[in-house]
Copies of this chain bind each other. A is one copy, B any other.
Amino acid sequence: MTDLVGIFVFAISGALLAVRKNFDVFGMAVLAEVTALGGGLFRDLIIGAVPPAAFTNLGYFVTPLVATVLVFFLHPQVERIQRGVNVFDAAGLGLFCVTGTAKAYDYGLGLTASATLGLASAVGGGVLRDVLANEVPSLLRWDRDLYAVPAIVGAAMAALCIRFGILNPLTSTLAVLTALSLRLMALKYHWRAPRAWHRSSVTTEEPERVMP
């Protein structure tokens, strides 16, 4: 059930970007599906879990369509509650990095690889969304609040819990909440990651605005 919440909010972010890019309703649905399911799809292909959960669980497929319909009719209202969307997106991020790590480990990957795949399933959908929309992935941009670090911390916590045999609902929830809180604090205090040294004063790319 909780994963459907994560899928839903990721789908919202995909559908909203589609509206901003002036796509039609099918473009919205495609971007919603890709954002919501892309990360998990990548993880499942890597660990050999085929067909991936995205294609065997009907709820996973339908949820992004519901999000699309909602954004289609109500997008000005959805934009207005961007802050609320951000909170749910942070929850999805925390959830996916932990469950992704656990699933990869269940399929026999090492701890580092599992945590990497946990990270990839949390952020992969957003990267695919931006690539399809022909944008520089916001994950990579220095002028975006930290997104990768919270997921890395959550995935690393899950991997450590596995390592010491203490991954249970309680510690999982703790890892999810840690990632969620870090992301919310990054949003609130505009935490940024550093760029390469000697780089701060020059910009070769003109500033781009994605989010109005």
Task: Spell out A's residues near B (CB within 8 Å).
Answer: 18-28, 30-31, 41, 45-48, 50-52, 55-56, 58, 61, 71-73, 75-76, 107-110, 112-113, 116-117, 127, 131-137, 139-142, 148-149, 192-199, 203-205, 212
Contacts and interface: CB of A to CB of B under 8 A. Distances in A.
9 contacts: A20-B204, A22-B142, A25-B194, A25-B196, A45-B45, A58-B110, A71-B196, A127-B132, A131-B131
Nearest to A140: B27
Nearest to A15: B196
Contacts of A139: 26-27, 30
A29 to B, nearest CB: 8
A136 B136 contact: no
Nearest to A108: B51
